[in-house]
């Protein structure tokens, strides 16, 4: 009997043909028993490069494909999640790669109205100040930095359908969404021993400029305690300075 999909894998993309091809090849290479439990969804923002042709060559892997103008990556993530029929959803990016061992182990642990967070590995070359792995932590640590990365997080699909990611932020809507889940009393169980994905470098969240930290301050308004918000007047400049020093040392 064919396995029913357990996880909807939403991959937003825009003019990322080569990266998408690499990601879909990695999913195609998974064991059949694992791939059968995945519902791969591509949410394309009306790409003008070869992305649609790449999608057409991987229809043995893709369950749903949607291409239209959108409001950016978070709008695409919401649109992709709306197509998912599997009970859990996992957001990947074009260029990110699933890791078979961690994914197989996680599939055996999915149950109930609980999210799961696993370790994410950073592919080389890494930007200055970026660690080799992102180990998940859920709780008050989220007040200070994003300790959950969406490529390592699998949550009930209903969580996203009932509370879509905000399109008000350019870079940090997934971080805002994690804070909202925590503040709503939803639980994400951490599995630091499981590596779920390798993630490509680049992207707006790796551009550690002042605009990123201004958005972080705005995003956290009302989502963290008053005391933590006051401390961020020192904490955010310190984070920015650390990244600048790391960048200077790498040159």
pLDDT the model gives residue 1: 41
Q: Are 56 and 25 in contact (CB under 8 A)?
A: no
CA distance 124 to 198: 10
Residues 6+ apart with CB under 8 A from 201: 122, 123, 124, 125, 126, 127, 130
Percent of the chain past pLDDT 90, that is, above it, reads: 80
pLDDT bin (cut points 50, 70, 90) of residue 247 is low
Q: Could you report the per-residue pLDDT of 110-133, keeping only the tens digit for each?
A: 999 999 999 999 998 766 667 889
* Whether the predicted pLDDT of 80 surpasses 70: yes
Please enumerate in sequence order all residues whose Cβ is within 8 A of that of 89, keeping only pairs 6 or more positions apart, or say none: 7, 8, 9, 10, 81, 154, 155, 156, 157, 159, 160
Residue 94 has pLDDT above 50, yes or no: yes
8 Å CB contact between 41 and 11: yes
Q: Which CATH number fits domain 7-205: 2.40.160.50, 3.90.550.10, 3.40.640.10, 3.30.70.2860?
A: 3.90.550.10
Predicted pLDDT at 125: 77
Task: Tell me the per-residue pLDDT of 44-75, one tens digit each, with 9 for 90 and over.
Answer: 999 999 999 999 999 999 999 999 999 999 99
Residue-wise pLDDT for 181-233, tens only, equals 999 999 999 999 999 999 987 655 555 578 888 999 999 999 999 999 999 98
């Amino acid at each position: 009997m064919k396995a029913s999909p357990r996880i909807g894998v939403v991959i937003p993309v825009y003019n990322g043909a080569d990266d998408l091809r690499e990601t879909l090849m990695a999913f195609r290479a998974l064991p059949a028993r694992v791939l059968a439990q995945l519902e791969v969804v591509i949410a394309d923002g009306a790409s003008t490069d070869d992305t649609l042709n790449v999608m057409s060559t991987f229809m043995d892997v893709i369950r749903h494909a949607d291409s239209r103008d959108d409001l950016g990556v978070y709008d695409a993530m919401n649109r992709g999640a709306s197509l998912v029929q599997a009970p859990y959803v996992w957001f990947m990016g074009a260029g990110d790669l699933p890791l078979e061992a961690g994914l197989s182990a996680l599939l055996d642990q999915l149950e109930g109205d609980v999210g799961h967070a696993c370790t994410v590995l950073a592919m080389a070359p890494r930007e200055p100040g970026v660690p080799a792995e992102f180990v998940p932590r859920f709780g008050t640590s989220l007040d200070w930095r994003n300790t959950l990365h969406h490529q390592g997080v699998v949550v009930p699909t209903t969580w996203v359908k009932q509370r879509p990611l905000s399109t008000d932020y350019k870079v940090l809507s997934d971080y805002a969404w994690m804070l909202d889940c925590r503040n709503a009393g939803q639980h994400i169980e951490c599995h630091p021993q499981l590596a779920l994905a390798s993630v490509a470098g680049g992207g707006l969240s790796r551009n550690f400029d002042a605009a990123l930290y201004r958005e972080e301050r705005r995003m956290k308004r009302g989502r963290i305690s008053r005391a933590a918000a006051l401390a961020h007047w020192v904490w955010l400049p310190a984070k920015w300075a650390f990244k600048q020093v790391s960048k200077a040392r790498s040159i």
